[in-house]
Structure 1
């Protein structure tokens, strides 16, 4: 599995939600291995050519799979986040992001979860949600 690089048009497509049957058929392990090999913090499905709404994020060496994620709450408190992207190698941008957020999502077993993120992890979630909506950090600068 390879990471798509800008200017690949597939990175600009808004992703579709997954249904329960699709959740069981996606090869999450291959995508996790791709993330680990890249040494990135997170990877979204569109970055590996899958037009579905999920991402995997490394939180202190624990991988978190977020399926059909929805930001329930974003704080009005903002901060400037320095961000890179696996699909745009050697490029960094400073982006104004919400400092706190509450994310609702499903895990690989179909359980609904809500998690609170702050600071760096909040910006990472927002970055991955952008990917699911066909938005790149180039669009945020």
Structure 2
């Protein structure tokens, strides 16, 4: 496994890649694809984050990894809160979303140090291939629904700040650029 560089919006070349639509994975889940997912998980944990789309490391493939195990509203009980529960999604699709929406303060590894509230459908039905290539269909809600929709947006070239007003988007970009300059 390897930690990969996460593309960020303060770099014009990175932003151009982040705005592209990812291609479906053709054929079965292979060892090469599992290596990509392992690298993505290691990168996500190192960042640290709770979700990562392949495009965020420059791979224009419809692959997402996620781990919500340490989040209190997702963990089954307090004992589960420290355990890792990595999930992998190959060619994920949103089949249905609820009319009911819910606000959630989102952040993004490609937009470091910026958080803002986004309204998204409160529930969704999704279908994907898992790490082993098994087809899964399930209904999601809460943080799981927010995170999968956020990561699915990445696969379609959409950033969470694209759901905000123009003014808030401009502020987000300015803040990320300022943080990058200060870190350099």
TM-score by length of 2: 0.73
Structure with the bigger RCO (C-alpha within 8 Å, sep 6+) is 1
Q: Give me the whole-angstrom Cα distance separating, in 1, the residues matched to 2:54 and 2:29.
A: 13
Among candidates 115, 122, 131, match of residue 99 of structure 1:
122
Counterpart position of 1:90: 113
Change (3 A) 1:112 1:22: closer
Q: Contact 1:20 / 1:110 at 8 angstroms: preserved in 2? A: no
Of structures 1 and 2, the larger Rg is shown by 2
Q: Give me the whole-angstrom Cα distance separating, in 2, the residues matched to 1:57 and 1:12.
A: 20
Point out the more displaced range, 36-45 or 106-115. Answer: 106-115
Following superposition, which runs of at least 4 residues in structure 1 exceed 6 angstroms of deviation?
none
Secondary structure at 2:55 match in 1:
helix
Q: Give me the whole-angstrom Cα distance separating, in 2, the residues matched to 1:109 and 1:40.
A: 23
Counterpart position of 1:3: 6
- Determine whether 1:20 maps to 2:52: no
Secondary structure at 1:25 match in 2:
helix
Q: How many pairs were matched up?
A: 141
RMSD of equivalent CA atoms? 1.3
Which structure: greater helix fraction?
A: 2
TM-score by length of 1: 0.94
Q: Contact 1:23 / 1:108 at 8 angstroms: preserved in 2? A: no
Secondary structure at 1:80 match in 2:
strand
Q: Give me the whole-angstrom Cα distance separating, in 1, the residues matched to 2:148 and 2:130.
A: 15
Q: Give me the whole-angstrom Cα distance separating, in 2, the residues matched to 1:126 and 1:23.
A: 25
Secondary structure at 1:126 match in 2:
helix
Which structure: greater strand fraction?
A: 1
- Determine whether 1:139 maps to 2:146: no
Q: Give me the whole-angstrom Cα distance separating, in 2, the residues matched to 1:11 and 1:119.
A: 25
